[in-house]
Amino acid sequence: MASIINGGSGSSSSRRRASKLIFSAIPFSCLLLLLFFFFFFFSSSSTRKPFSTTTPHLHLHHHSHFETLNTAKAHCQGTLYPDLCVSSLSSIPNLASKTIPQIISSLINRTTSEVHDSSRNCSNFLRRYHLDLRQQFALTDCLELFDDTIDAFRTVLSDLRINASSHKDDIESFLSSAIANQFTCLDGFSHVLDGGLRPKIERKLRHISHLVSNSLAMVRRISKRKKRREALEGYGRVVRGFPEWIKSGDRKLLQSAGNTTNANIVVAKDGTGNFTTIGEAIAAAPHKSKTRFIIYIKAGAYFENVEVNKSKTNLMFIGDGIGKTVIKANRSFAQNFTTFRSATLAVSGAGFLAKGITVENSAGYENHQAVAMRSSSDLSAYYLCSFVGYQDTLYVHTLRQFYRECDVYGTVDFIFGDASVVFEFCNLYARKPGPQQKNMFTAQARNDPNENTGIVLHKCKIAAAEDLIPVQSSVLSYLGRPWKEYSRTVIIRSYIGSLIDPAGWSEWNGTFALSTLYYAECENRGPGSNTTNRVKWPGYRVINSTEASQFSVANFIEGGEWLGATTFPFMLGL
């Protein structure tokens, strides 16, 4: 009994220990209650509506993101820069619902902004930097080339919107020219000790060219449908090989030497025409002409640098014949001009035609790059003309061009550029070069395998000029060398003279482009045409007429759609 009495009336320390146990049990009980609530809530969450409405939106967002990413990856297959392509396409709203033309249009719009940024940068450099003359020319070239690129994009966007299938050739041509323009800008700095000026713009320009490359790769997925070009270029319906608007009497004018009665403007050195200089006549010609505007240039030597800018469309120069009507100047690299800016005659206006004239750059081999003629004119054609120079004589810069029965004289890389161009029944003459120099007939500049560009020589003559013949055995001459990585040159059923080295083709720099170029020969003749000892590069090949047919006038430059309106003769097939 005593123990019971003692416990009931225990000490204060015993009471403190009891209270500790009671209070320590309270948080433990709360913890158990919280755990019970936690498991009860989440075990039933699959059958209950969530408290927050944000959860399904997050789920849909992730689903949409992955769907967009997968769609972008699918569209970017086959592009050269897939990571850039995926990141570009992933930002397009509702990508899965877009057509290929709409996707390409979105890419072009983005690229246009990038070109505007580069243009502003170059303008700032011109204003803020103390530059030498060649640097100024190089930056001025870039500004012009950016402007041309933006115009090309406008044309592409319009074609994509109207009917991409019918305009596929146009789209490919203008996107190819946009790539070439970026590299032409950079080439202006290739010989410049610019104190770091080129690196300031190069990264941006290569980024632009990569964006265009991805767009160009996707254009290949558009099915092609033929169309007649007709009024689109302002030529009208073609009747018996002539535009409908050309009267029968005028057809004789276009097929023969010019005369004063039918031309719109006459240029004459002796003052018997409307003007005494070609530059004045061009200034007087209409802007954006929808019909052919003829400038007859009488016999004489015109010492001037002539430019047909892009606003002067559908112009035609008619002279009195090779060696009679001569346009002559001497700009060169040695005078601090860029290659682009050195041209005696530079043409950008679409639909340009020339007949019966000689264009010469008389700077000489010692002055290096010196262009006689530069053409960036789409759907341009030249008949019975002569182009005379040494290094870089004929700059077939961009877009679609045709040369028939023309003569070209030069030494180093004397037909060069990144146009889609066919030479038909032309005479190509290598001249005596400077000491230690080699003759290179071509230097094609395709930068991307999806470009539709290349130099095609069909039924041409490749031979030595009179000044080379006596020393021909001591001078190495080649059909061409690769200026850019995907250089493409094709020689079909042409005469190749004995001046050509048995190897046929020359390297540009070591093994550069030897695996990626496309150099082909088909059924040529002459002492230099034997292919037994030709180069063994992966990119070189001897082809048959079936493969060569893709480089015919009809297939390579769509000549059947527009050359009839030029009044010049041409062969559609081989």
Known catalytic membership, residue 392:
yes
Please state, as a whole number, how many other Cβ atoms lie within 10 Å of the Cβ of residue 491.
Answer: 27
Contacts of 517 (CB under 8 A, 6+ apart): 482, 485, 486, 487, 488, 537, 539, 540
Which helix (H) or strand (E) element contains residue 17?
helix 12-43
HSE at residue 428, side-chain half, CA atoms within 13 A, is: 35
Instruction: Identify which of 557, 452, 561, 418 has the alpha carbon closest to the alpha carbon of residue 219.
Output: 452
Q: Which of 141, 159, 250, 392 is catalytic?
A: 392
Q: Which of 141, 148, 169, 413 is catalytic?
A: 413
- Looking at residue 236, its pLDDT comes to 37
- Looking at residue 252, its pLDDT comes to 55
Cα–Cα dist 351/148, whole Å: 16
- Looking at residue 44, its pLDDT comes to 42
For residue 215, the one-letter residue type is S
Question: What string of pLDDT tens digits covers the 574 residues of the chain?
Answer: 433 333 333 444 444 444 433 334 444 444 444 444 444 444 444 443 443 344 445 444 555 667 778 888 988 999 999 999 999 998 888 888 899 999 999 999 999 999 999 999 999 999 887 888 888 999 999 999 999 999 999 999 999 999 899 999 999 999 999 999 999 999 998 765 555 788 889 999 999 999 999 999 999 999 877 655 443 333 333 333 444 444 444 555 555 544 555 899 999 999 999 999 999 999 999 999 999 999 999 999 999 999 999 999 999 999 999 999 999 999 999 999 999 999 999 999 999 999 999 999 999 999 999 999 999 999 999 999 999 999 999 999 999 999 999 999 999 999 999 999 999 999 999 999 999 999 999 999 999 999 999 999 999 999 999 999 999 999 999 999 999 999 999 999 999 999 999 999 999 999 999 999 999 999 999 999 999 999 999 999 999 999 999 999 999 999 999 999 998 999 999 9
- Looking at residue 226, its pLDDT comes to 64
Q: Look up the pTM and report it.
A: 0.85
Cα–Cα dist 455/418, whole Å: 8
- Looking at residue 67, its pLDDT comes to 79
- Please provide the DSSP assignment of 434-492 as one string: -TT--EEEEEE---STT---EEEEES-EEEE-TTTGGGGGGS-EEEE--SSTT-EEEEE
Its sign, for the CA torsion 41, 47, 50, 54, is positive
Cα–Cα dist 410/435, whole Å: 15
369 and 340 in contact (C-beta within 8 Å)? no
Cα–Cα dist 227/62, whole Å: 44
- Looking at residue 223, its pLDDT comes to 86
Tokens of 538: 């992966």
Beta strands across the sheet bearing 477-480: 306-308, 345-347, 373-375, 394-396, 415-417, 439-444, 477-480
- Chain centroid to CA 146: how far? 12
Phi, psi for 381 (deg, rounded to 5): -145, 150
- Looking at residue 8, its pLDDT comes to 38
Instruction: Identify which of 108, 127, 179 has the alpha carbon closest to the alpha carbon of residue 399.
Output: 179
> What are the start-end ranges of the H helices in 44-167?
54-75, 82-90, 100-128, 133-163
